[in-house]
């Protein structure tokens, strides 16, 4: 038995995420699906497994990660079955923060990030899955802790919290009277892009930083019925995006913007994850976006969030190339 023991680093969730995941698992318990998975441990994503002789080194690593790594959001969009149809799980979309944490914990890349709901024989898993399918809806969780366990038997060794440097705030629907404030957020946000690439009101009058005004947003809001969302912090709107629905049934993300002084706080990722969730709720299988092709940093950021580059187009009225990207939602 001693030879079979292994150490595991687990990524844990905040209280709200834990409660949401436990609710899904408890639905199965209430239907009589008990399973053979380990009970009485936190809901988690396994980041790596290690031999027992590395315990002291892993304790040092855990402490260092708690001092250096920020807590982060993950968007749960998937239900799956694997392990010879013996594991029923929910899974978050991969993001840069999760991948980076995985790489710091283990160099193994044979990995699917997931949280197990039930382990049992295939016939039991197939009977249990519909209950989860009926109840499951996309949601945003938060990874905020790490746990070190030994299995088997189960031994909890240590837990640490990741840093929490979040700005307090939330993504919500824009109110009609907030249109002027959103115009300012968009213009100030895109002004930094204009400055970086030399766009001006003279050589690029149709660029977002110069062309966005209250009349344009009012037209999108009242006539196009375009959903608009903001990130609000301490009563101030500091981020924005809108969604358009194309004739082919796909969604288009427009004007994702964060005020310059509030960048690098994860607000852009929160807005994008919220956009993913709402796009799926709308039933759109594809999300499209247009970017300044020369903005390689922005393109790379979208690629990290699952977008693929689909082409470019040059217009006479823009001193730059328009790049196009898309992400499949289902």
Q: CATH number for the domain including 30?
A: 3.90.1140.10
The CATH number given to whatever domain includes residue 253 is 3.40.630.30
Go through the chain and tell me how many residues it has.
330
Q: Distance (Å, rounded) from C-alpha 118 to C-alpha 250? A: 34
Do 174 and 152 belong to one domain?
A: no
Can you tell me the distance from the alpha carbon of 206 to that of 202, in angstroms, rounded to the nearest whole number? 9
- In the listed set 132, 161, 190, which residue is the last one of a domain according to the structure? 161
Contacts of range 220-225, beta carbons closer than 8 Å, 24 or more positions apart: 220/244, 221/174, 221/176, 221/179
The answer on 191 and 148 residing in a single domain is no
What are the structure tokens assigned to 33, written together? 């699906």
Paired tokens of 111: 């990995």
9 and 155 fall within a common domain: yes
Are 314 and 198 in the same domain? Answer: yes
The reported pTM is 0.58
Asked if residue 177 has pLDDT above 70, the reply is yes
* pLDDT tens per residue, range 191-247: 999 999 999 999 999 999 999 999 999 999 999 999 999 999 989 999 999 999 988
DSSP class of residue 165 equals: -
- Is 317 found in the same domain as 184? yes
The Cα–Cα gap between 114 and 46 comes to: 8
Same domain, residue pair 8 and 155: yes
75 and 191, same domain (yes or no): no
Q: Encoding tokens for residue 190?
A: 């895109």
Query: How far is Cα 132 from Cα 144, in angstroms, rounded to an integer?
Result: 25
| pLDDT tens profile 110-148 | 789 999 999 999 999 999 999 999 999 999 899 999 999
Domain residue limits at 197: 170-328
- Give residue-wise pLDDT tens across range 34-73: 999 999 899 999 999 999 999 999 999 999 999 899 899 9
């Amino acid at each position: 038995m001693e030879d079979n023991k292994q150490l595991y680093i687990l990524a844990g969730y905040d209280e709200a995420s834990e409660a949401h995941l436990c609710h899904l698992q408890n639905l199965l318990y209430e239907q009589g699906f008990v399973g053979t998975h380990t009970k009485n441990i936190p809901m988690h994503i396994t980041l790596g497994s290690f031999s027992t002789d590395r315990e002291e080194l892993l304790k040092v690593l855990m402490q260092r990660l708690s001092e250096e790594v920020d807590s982060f959001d993950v968007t749960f969009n998937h239900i799956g079955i694997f392990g010879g149809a013996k594991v029923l799980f929910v899974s978050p979309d991969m993001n840069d923060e999760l991948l980076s944490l995985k790489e710091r914990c283990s160099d193994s890349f044979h990995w699917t990030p997931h949280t197990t709901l039930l382990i049992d024989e295939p016939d039991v898993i197939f009977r249990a899955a519909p209950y989860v399918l009926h109840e499951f809806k996309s949601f945003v969780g938060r990874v905020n802790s790490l746990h070190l366990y030994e299995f088997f038997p189960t031994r909890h060794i240590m837990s640490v919290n990741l840093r929490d440097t979040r700005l307090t705030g939330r993504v919500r629907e824009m109110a009609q009277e907030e249109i002027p404030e959103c115009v300012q957020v968009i213009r100030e946000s895109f002004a930094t892009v204009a400055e970086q690439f030399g766009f001006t009101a003279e050589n690029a009058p149709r660029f977002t930083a110069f062309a966005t005004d209250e009349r344009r947003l009012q037209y999108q809001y009242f006539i196009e019925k375009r959903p608009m969302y903001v990130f609000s912090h301490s009563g101030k709107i500091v981020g924005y995006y809108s969604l358009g629905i194309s004739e082919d049934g796909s969604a288009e993300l427009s004007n994702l913007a964060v005020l310059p002084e509030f960048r690098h706080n994860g607000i852009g990722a929160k807005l994008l994850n919220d956009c993913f969730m709402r796009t799926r709720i709308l039933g759109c299988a594809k999300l499209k976006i247009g970017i300044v092709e020369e903005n390689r940093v922005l393109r790379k950021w979208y690629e990290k969030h699952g977008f693929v580059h689909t082409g470019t187009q040059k217009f006479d009225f823009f001193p730059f190339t328009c790049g196009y990207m898309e992400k499949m939602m289902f």
